[in-house]
Amino acid sequence: MLTSVEKASAILREKLLESGGTAVISLQRGEPCTIMLVDKERAITSDKLNGFRYSYTFLM
């Protein structure tokens, strides 16, 4: 069974895949933030993260 964090990551990845791997969201202050899939769709990064990549794995 997936944890809530794994479920959230899976949902985010699927939504990004549906939108071509990139999405723009609004931050709390209203500024735009671009999030994207990287590393063969196995990590997520953002234009606000200064190169940091959040890697994740999925249980199949």
SS (H, E, C) the chain: CCCHHHHHHHHHHHHHHHCCCEEEEECCCCCEEEEEEECCCCEEEECCCCCCCEECCCCC
For 12-56, the pLDDT digits (tens) are 888 999 999 999 999 999 999 999 999 888 888 999 988 888 887
The better pLDDT of the pair 11, 31 is held by 31
26, 42 Cβ separation under 8 angstroms: no
